[in-house]
Amino acid sequence: MIQHTHRQSHFRKETTFFYFYLFVFALSLGLVSVELFSEGMFMDGLYYATISRNMSLGMGSFWKPYFSATLFKEFYEHPPLALGLQSICFRLFGDSLYVERFYSFILFLLTGGGIVLLWKQWSHDVRYGWLPLLFWVVTGGVIWSVANNMLENTMVLFVVLSVFFYGKRINEGHYYGVVLAGLSLSLGLLTKGFPCLYVWSLPFFMWLFLRKPHFMQMITDSLLWVGFTLLPIMVFYLFVPDARHFMQTYLQKQVIGSIEHIQTVSSRWAIVRAFFESIVFPVSVAALSLLFVRKRAGVGSLFRQNRAPFFLFFAVSLAGVLPIMVSMKQRPFYITTVYPFFAMGLALLFLPFIRSLIDPIPPTSKGFTLFKRGGILLLLVSVGLSVAQVNRVGRDNIVIHDVKQVIEEVGHDKTIHVGPNIAFNWGVYGYFSRYGNVSLSFAPPSKQTYYLSSGKNDPDSLDHYQRVETNMKQYRLYKTVDPLH
């Protein structure tokens, strides 16, 4: 009877951690729902969704992605794997604005699962796998990237899996782990190029901080990881002509061109600043645990328990940040893939504190009962918030309204001329192409049946156009009196 009661108590204790996972999921859904499930998207993500949709319809191909008839007829700005994967979703589920959104959200969940697997490798305590998830979710830029269909959403999954497979190599001693690590990272390389390669540094930092693996194994593992990452790329390059052309163009135009000619920041240190600004909140959340244990004896020893793994993962994170300084083209979302590893290190460092606070709490206590109910309530609120975004326009609501008005008048699969104030508004190109496969041209007005204007700096050659009556709020649409064919 006593043994049976003990098993029941142990079972209740184990199941309590389900509610911590539930809380983190509900929090994540609540944070991402407003921006993810409403209309409107950051320009880059809008372009990726459009190209993927086009690929699913046979416009362009895997190695020759297509955006529109007037812009990026062949898109070589980024490797095509994420676009190809998303195009499969469009083929399966049709042309809905929610396809790219659920694609990003599912990848977010899969990456979370990968973080839990990684956590289990390092902590051997899956009960607290919600802790790195919490730190990851509240890191600046993570939720934003998910909501805006960024390529990093796909790349981070492959990077996390690559590190997980290398962990299997260390734990089990089999070389297949490092082979899978290389192949996974190769998929990351085919998603957004070189920014994922920083995890090659993991064997070195493991040797440096943990003295595991030994030095020669570290060298061997590093060479194998690099080799199996590059092997699929070399196969494509040598035996697939379209792939070779893509890689050559991408390297010359995007990689070398960005380093030599494009500047988005005033200092190379901007990306480092962005990293530290992004981790302020998770560090603050972790530090809260110290308020509850600061008077207990042995606090210093708790810090020393997992200090080395923290420095290891912090070093890996910096390895993903510092190389970005080579270029003056920097954006905070370029380093999104490092945050799972920083969250891992932070969670390992603070695990002894969190465990000392949570383990003594009885599952039947009043406080934990309130926490369970609060988590369920948060989940219901988050689901309701998500449903409330259906058919709601979030960002760029005026632009989206006018784009829909123009497409209703002009029709799908058309090309229209735009005025000088629209010609370099690249987000407008994205909405027209995504909503109606309408291409925008800055050619002379007489070349097109329709002319779209912002009402400013219009050319004088509009005599043969007349204004179309619409309910647009920002733009004006004109149509030729006698269209030229």
Decide: residue 216, CB within 10 A, 0-12 exposed, 13-18 middle, 19+ buried. Answer: exposed
SS (H, E, C) 9-69: HHHHHHHHHHHHHHHHHHHHHHHHHHHHCCECCCHHHHHHHHHHHHHHCCCECCCCECCCC
Name the band, by pLDDT with cuts 50, 70 and 90, for residue 457: low
Residues 6+ apart with CB under 8 A from 317: 275, 338, 339, 341, 342, 345
For residue 232, what is the DSSP state? Answer: H
Can you tell me whether residue 364 is helix, strand or coil? coil
CB atoms under 10 Å from CB of 182, counted, come to 22
Question: What is the tens place of the pLDDT at every residue in 58-82?
Answer: 999 999 999 999 999 999 999 999 9
Question: Rounded mean pLDDT of 5-18?
Answer: 60
| Amino acid symbol at 374 | G
CB 470 within 8 A of CB 410: no
Ramachandran sector of residue 425 (left: φ over 0; alpha: ψ -120 to 50; beta: rest): beta
In the chain, % of residues over pLDDT 90:
78
Of the listed ranges 128-132, 259-263, 315-319, the least confidently predicted one is: 259-263
Whether residue 230 is predicted with pLDDT greater than 70 in this model: the reply is yes
Pick the closest to residue 139 from 162, 116, 164, 112 (CA basis).
112
Question: What is the tens place of the pLDDT at every residue in 212-223?
Answer: 889 999 999 999
Pick the closest to residue 66 from 94, 85, 87 (CA basis).
87
Residue 294: the pLDDT is 64
Residue 447: the pLDDT is 65
Residue 260: the pLDDT is 84
CB 417 within 8 A of CB 450: yes
Choose between 303 and 83: higher pLDDT.
83
Residue 458: the pLDDT is 65
Name the band, by pLDDT with cuts 50, 70 and 90, for residue 356: confident
Can you tell me the distance from the alpha carbon of 72 to that of 46, in angstroms, rounded to the nearest whole number?
A: 14
Element (H, E) at 403: helix 397-410
Q: What is the pTM of this model?
A: 0.93
CB 237 within 8 A of CB 243: yes
Can you tell me the distance from the alpha carbon of 35 to that of 278, in angstroms, rounded to the nearest whole number?
A: 19
Residue 16: the pLDDT is 80
| Amino acid symbol at 340 | P
Name the band, by pLDDT with cuts 50, 70 and 90, for residue 374: very high
Element (H, E) at 441: strand 439-441
CB 178 within 8 A of CB 228: yes
Tokens of 335: 């380093």
Question: What is the tens place of the pLDDT at every residue in 246-271?
Answer: 999 999 988 998 888 888 899 999 99
Can you tell me the distance from the alpha carbon of 363 to that of 10, in angstroms, rounded to the nearest whole number?
A: 10
Decide: residue 413, CB within 10 A, 0-12 exposed, 13-18 middle, 19+ buried. Answer: exposed
Can you tell me the distance from the alpha carbon of 214 to that of 410, in angstroms, rounded to the nearest whole number?
A: 67
Decide: residue 265, CB within 10 A, 0-12 exposed, 13-18 middle, 19+ buried. Answer: middle
Question: What is the tens place of the pLDDT at every residue in 428-456?
Answer: 999 999 999 999 998 765 567 899 998 77
Centroid of chain to Cα 377: 28
Question: Rounded mean pLDDT of 115-125?
Answer: 96
Q: Phi, psi at residue 183, to the nearest 5°?
A: -65, -40
- Residue 213 preceded by cis peptide, ω within 30: yes
Whether residue 98 is predicted with pLDDT greater than 50 in this model: the reply is yes
